[in-house]
């Protein structure tokens, strides 16, 4: 790849970014797009739909940049929660790392590479130089210059480890501060108990009561036995859909009355339909009530949410093995009430176990064979095949530009489209894996997507083969560094281009919100503008954290091989910094709070990147016949892993649970708070299955407001 090609790509993508940003700054001002670009503000009531037209609405303005820039961490914390703060810390952390690595890379390593023995840089016509001139490939065997790279590897590793330590400590302290400053929350006082043994003497509820009265007499408060509500849930969902359709019909009807247009006889038919819907809804409600009544007595799952009078009491029940038989009375930390994954409880143990195994196999299979269908589809994109299938395209395909576009861009487009499908698939797989909370599902999906990306984008590209071939390489562990050393530098230009194209585009399309915008445009004619239906989306961490981590991995592994990647990476991160802050202000609102539990994933991924970089360094120095350097690199991965081990000891426990010290302190703070009585009264019913909540739609359709929907909004 020539430098000129890279510069072209940079120019095109910079243009695209600017275009997206400009379009965004116009579109966001149109009231009809408020639901797409500012749902968070709308939901908070900070932004009102202005319908009056003025010219300002059509002129792009950079004021949103300023707002996003000015946002302080405290504001972000209060509006979007700790998870958003952690996400932004990930970006600033990467910026710091690559600023430091960039200075070393551009001002020290790049000149050394250019002065290499193999190619001479043509300074008269810079763009015509091959990118290889700027990489480590340009340096000859046994060259003393390689010691510069060697030192850079040490310095940057030390810097990253220092930053990692500092960040882990910071996030950990933020987590503690969040805990200390939080109001009493139901999940802090509650544990989930499952595998409750069935006793002949009474119901599950009696058994739970007896057990906790016996062994936790002073701390035990109350419990809610979980029931299998899958049938009820499907009925409720039916009712909700029907209710929405009915609301829509009625509002249409109202609008039409307003406009005094009852032409085409549609009005009469619609009223009929409305009546029919209402009747159906009443039927379903009747069924729901019957089902709820029948649930009261039976269909108990062998699980219950048990609440305690103090956080410390709940922690004791969580940490100690309760029963002499370790597979009975198993306790888990309860999730927030809105975070509970209710469908989980409807499945039986054996069912859950099988699905767990299936998910494991499915994940591994998907990761390994993912590239096969992609290559197959890409194979179909060769021109002859296309011409055979669609003869009428022949004339167009003979144009050189079109054929280049199709053969050049189509394969990578197909790969990107396939990759876009991965996060939802992984989320789905995690959701049937048996997690009790949505947040755990998302954390697990985040991990899955991360390893999938590393495997199928990094390794598959580097070894330019399917993942099955990569598996084969990894079954021969001795030769991994050697193979990496040959393959990784060869792909430097590809990954530089990857950062510019995929990275820049993905972050600016995040701003533009292409897909929600299209949805809103298409759906607008069919739906009324009902405020109630406004959905504020949460940021899909499982999609965006792996993306940023993958770019960080590219930066860490390539910084000493091809330092030219670093400026582009920094540009990507700066874009991401401003755009994600803007999105947190305007678009996303958290649905639940993991209080920073994503950070350990970030930490582990960084450590993996470092060790991978060391393996590549060992391989490179061996390949360049500088065996002394490759020997001296060996302590580095060992030290890095020891550092990681220390961090796990030092910080990880605080991300799993809270210490006795902090729990007791927090409990004592509130001991004499009069508001606690009210809180405990609420706590008793906090973990009611939403499917079992009182339920009436039909009688409230006129008020356009059902208790179910409103309660859901209160929580959201």
**Which CB, 325 or 669, lies closer to a second copy?**
325
Q: Which stretch binds a second copy (CB under 8 A): 58-66, 476-484, 581-589, 708-716?
A: 476-484
Q: Which stretch binds a second copy (CB under 8 A): 4-12, 93-101, 417-425, 659-667?
A: 659-667
CB of 326 to a second copy, least distance (A): 4
Name 224's bridge partners.
Answer: 305
Picking from 608, 366, 379, the residue whose alpha carbon sits closest to that of residue 467 is 366
Q: In sequence order, what are the residues at sequence separation of 6 or more whose Cβ sits closer than 8 angstroms to the Cβ of residue 26? A: 57, 58, 59, 60
CB of 598 to a second copy, least distance (A): 19
Cα→Cα distances 40→62, 97, 389, 619, Å = 20, 31, 48, 50
* Position among 65, 273, 517, 664 found at the interface with a second copy (CB under 8 A): 664
**Which CB, 414 or 639, lies closer to a second copy?**
639
d(CA 240, CA 234): 10
CB of 701 to a second copy, least distance (A): 50
Residue 134 DSSP label: G
| Core vs surface per residue 403-428: b (16+ CB within 10 A) or e | eeebeeebbeebbeebbeebbebbbe
Phi, psi of 327 (to 5 degrees): -100, 15
Rule CB under 8 A: is residue 671 a binding residue for a second copy? no
CB of 521 to a second copy, least distance (A): 51
Cα→Cα distances 127→1, 205, 563, Å = 11, 76, 17
CB of 629 to a second copy, least distance (A): 23
CA torsion 430-436-439-440 (nearest 10°) is -60
* Position among 321, 348, 669, 711 found at the interface with a second copy (CB under 8 A): 321
CB of 311 to a second copy, least distance (A): 12
d(CA 50, CA 30): 9
Rule CB under 8 A: is residue 324 a binding residue for a second copy? yes
* Position among 649, 681, 702, 714 found at the interface with a second copy (CB under 8 A): 649
Please answer whether residues 565 and 500 qualify as being in contact, where contact means their C-beta atoms are separated by less than 8 angstroms: no
Q: In sequence order, what are the residues at sequence separation of 6 or more whose Cβ sits closer than 8 angstroms to the Cβ of residue 70? A: none
Rule CB under 8 A: is residue 159 a binding residue for a second copy? no
CB of 175 to a second copy, least distance (A): 10
CB of 213 to a second copy, least distance (A): 12
Rule CB under 8 A: is residue 319 a binding residue for a second copy? yes
Residues 174-193 contacting a second copy, CB under 8 A: 176
Rule CB under 8 A: is residue 644 a binding residue for a second copy? no
* Position among 322, 433, 609, 644 found at the interface with a second copy (CB under 8 A): 322
Q: What is the largest CA-CA distance in the chain?
A: 92
Count of CB atoms within 10 A of residue 692's CB? 19
Rule CB under 8 A: is residue 298 a binding residue for a second copy? no
**Which CB, 512 or 651, lies closer to a second copy?**
651
CB of 394 to a second copy, least distance (A): 48
Q: Which stretch binds a second copy (CB under 8 A): 135-143, 400-408, 586-594, 657-665?
A: 657-665
CB of 472 to a second copy, least distance (A): 8
Rule CB under 8 A: is residue 327 a binding residue for a second copy? yes
**Which CB, 330 or 517, lies closer to a second copy?**
330
**Which CB, 292 or 331, lies closer to a second copy?**
331
d(CA 307, CA 299): 21
* Position among 125, 258, 272, 476 found at the interface with a second copy (CB under 8 A): 476
* Position among 18, 198, 320, 380 found at the interface with a second copy (CB under 8 A): 320
Please answer whether residues 663 and 315 qualify as being in contact, where contact means their C-beta atoms are separated by less than 8 angstroms: yes
Please answer whether residues 461 and 502 qualify as being in contact, where contact means their C-beta atoms are separated by less than 8 angstroms: no
Picking from 151, 154, 1, the residue whose alpha carbon sits closest to that of residue 565 is 1
* Position among 654, 698, 701, 706 found at the interface with a second copy (CB under 8 A): 654
CB of 530 to a second copy, least distance (A): 47
Cα→Cα distances 653→188, 362, 520, 666, Å = 17, 31, 44, 18
CB of 436 to a second copy, least distance (A): 17
**Which CB, 202 or 326, lies closer to a second copy?**
326
List the alpha helices (DSSP H) in 182-310. Answer: 204-215, 230-259, 266-297
Rule CB under 8 A: is residue 16 a binding residue for a second copy? no
Q: Which stretch binds a second copy (CB under 8 A): 271-279, 315-323, 389-397, 427-435?
A: 315-323
d(CA 138, CA 6): 18
Phi, psi of 455 (to 5 degrees): -70, -50
* Position among 55, 200, 293, 475 found at the interface with a second copy (CB under 8 A): 475
* Position among 351, 650, 682, 715 found at the interface with a second copy (CB under 8 A): 650
Rule CB under 8 A: is residue 315 a binding residue for a second copy? yes
**Which CB, 163 or 473, lies closer to a second copy?**
473
Q: Which stretch binds a second copy (CB under 8 A): 229-237, 311-319, 366-374, 550-558?
A: 311-319
**Which CB, 630 or 654, lies closer to a second copy?**
654
Edge-to-edge strands, sheet with 330-333: 220-227, 300-308, 190-194, 330-333
For 42-82, give the DSSP string: HHHT-S-------GGGGS---HHHHHHHH--HHHHHHHHHH
CB of 647 to a second copy, least distance (A): 11
Please answer whether residues 202 and 219 qualify as being in contact, where contact means their C-beta atoms are separated by less than 8 angstroms: no
* Position among 653, 694, 707, 716 found at the interface with a second copy (CB under 8 A): 653
Binding string to a second copy for residues 329 to 368, with x set by CB under 8 A, is what? x---------------------------------------
Q: In sequence order, what are the residues at sequence separation of 6 or more whose Cβ sits closer than 8 angstroms to the Cβ of residue 578? A: 65, 68, 69
d(CA 507, CA 529): 29
Q: Which stretch binds a second copy (CB under 8 A): 45-53, 153-161, 324-332, 487-495?
A: 324-332
Rule CB under 8 A: is residue 170 a binding residue for a second copy? no
Rule CB under 8 A: is residue 326 a binding residue for a second copy? yes
Question: Radius of gyration over alpha carbons of the chain, in Å?
Answer: 29
Q: Which stretch binds a second copy (CB under 8 A): 62-70, 507-515, 572-580, 643-651?
A: 643-651
Interface ranges with a second copy (CB under 8 A):
176, 214-215, 315-317, 319-327, 329, 475-478, 649-654, 657-662, 664
């Amino acid at each position: 790849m020539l430098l000129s090609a890279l510069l072209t790509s940079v120019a095109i993508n910079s243009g695209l970014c600017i275009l997206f940003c400009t379009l965004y700054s116009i579109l966001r001002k149109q009231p009809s797009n408020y639901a797409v670009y500012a749902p968070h503000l709308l939901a908070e009531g900070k932004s009102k739909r202005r319908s009056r037209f003025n010219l300002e609405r059509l002129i792009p303005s950079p004021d949103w940049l300023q707002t996003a820039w000015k946002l302080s961490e405290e504001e972000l914390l209060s509006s979007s929660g700790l998870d958003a703060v952690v996400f932004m810390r990930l970006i600033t952390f990467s910026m710091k790392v690559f600023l430091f690595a960039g200075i070393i890379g551009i001002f020290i390593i790049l000149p050394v590479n250019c002065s290499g023995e193999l190619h001479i840089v043509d300074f008269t016509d810079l763009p015509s130089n091959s990118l290889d001139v700027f990489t480590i490939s340009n340096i000859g065997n046994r060259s003393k210059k390689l010691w510069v790279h060697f030192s850079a590897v040490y310095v940057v590793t030390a810097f990253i480890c220092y930053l990692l330590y500092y960040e882990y400590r910071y996030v950990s302290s933020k987590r503690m501060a969040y805990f200390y400053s939080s109001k009493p929350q139901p999940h802090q006082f509650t544990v989930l108990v499952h595998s409750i043994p069935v006793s002949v003497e009474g119901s599950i509820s009696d058994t739970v009561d007896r057990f906790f009265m016996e062994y936790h007499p002073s701390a035990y408060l109350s419990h809610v036995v979980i029931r299998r509500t899958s049938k009820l849930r499907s009925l409720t969902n039916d009712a909700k859909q029907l209710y929405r359709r009915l609301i829509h019909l009625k509002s249409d009807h109202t609008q039409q009355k307003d406009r005094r247009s009852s032409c085409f006889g549609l009005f009469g038919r619609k009223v009929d339909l409305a009546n029919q819907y209402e009747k159906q809804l009443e039927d379903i409600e009747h069924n729901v009530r019957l089902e709820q009544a029948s649930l009261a007595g039976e269909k108990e799952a062998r699980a219950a949410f048990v609440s305690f009078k103090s956080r410390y009491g709940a922690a004791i029940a969580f940490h100690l093995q309760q029963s002499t038989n370790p597979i009975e009375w198993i306790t888990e930390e309860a999730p927030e009430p809105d975070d509970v994954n209710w469908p989980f409880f409807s499945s039986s143990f054996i069912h859950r176990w099988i699905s767990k195994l299936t998910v494991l196999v499915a994940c591994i299979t998907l990761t390994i064979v993912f590239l096969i269908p992609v290559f197959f589809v890409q194979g179909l994109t060769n021109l002859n095949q296309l011409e055979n299938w669609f003869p009428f395209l022949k004339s167009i395909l003979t144009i050189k530009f079109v054929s280049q576009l199709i053969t050049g861009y189509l394969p990578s487009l197909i790969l990107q489209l396939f990759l876009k499908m991965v996060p939802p698939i992984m989320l789905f797989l995690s959701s049937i894996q048996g997690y009790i909370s949505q947040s755990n599902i998302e954390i697990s999906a985040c991990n899955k997507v991360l390893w999938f990306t590393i495997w199928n984008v990094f390794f598959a590209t580097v070894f330019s083969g399917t993942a099955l071939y990569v598996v084969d390489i990894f079954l021969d562990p001795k030769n991994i560094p050697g193979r990496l050393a040959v393959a990784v530098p060869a792909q430097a230009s590809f990954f530089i281009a990857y950062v510019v194209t995929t990275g820049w585009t993905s972050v600016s399309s995040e701003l533009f919100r292409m897909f929600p915008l299209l949805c809103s445009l298409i759906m607008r004619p069919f739906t009324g503008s009902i405020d109630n239906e406004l959905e504020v989306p949460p940021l899909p961490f499982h999609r965006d954290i792996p993306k940023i981590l993958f770019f960080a991995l590219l930066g860490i592994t390539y910084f000493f091989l091809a330092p030219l990647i670093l400026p582009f990476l920094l540009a990507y991160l700066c874009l991401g910094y401003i755009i994600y802050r803007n999105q947190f202000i305007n678009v996303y609102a958290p649905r639940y709070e993991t209080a920073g539990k994503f950070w350990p994933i970030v930490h582990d991924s960084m450590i993996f990147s470092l060790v991978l970089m060391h393996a590549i360094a060992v391989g490179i120095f061996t390949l360049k016949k500088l065996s002394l350097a490759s020997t001296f690199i060996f302590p580095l991965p060992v030290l890095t892993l020891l550092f990681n081990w220390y961090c796990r000891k030092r910080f990880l426990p605080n991300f799993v649970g809270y210490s006795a010290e902090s729990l007791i302190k927090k409990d004592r703070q509130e001991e004499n708070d009069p508001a606690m009585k009210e809180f405990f009264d609420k706590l008793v019913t906090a973990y009611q299955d939403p499917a079992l909540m009182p339920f009436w739609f039909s009688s409230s359709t006129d008020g356009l407001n059902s208790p179910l929907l409103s309660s859901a909004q209160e929580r959201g």
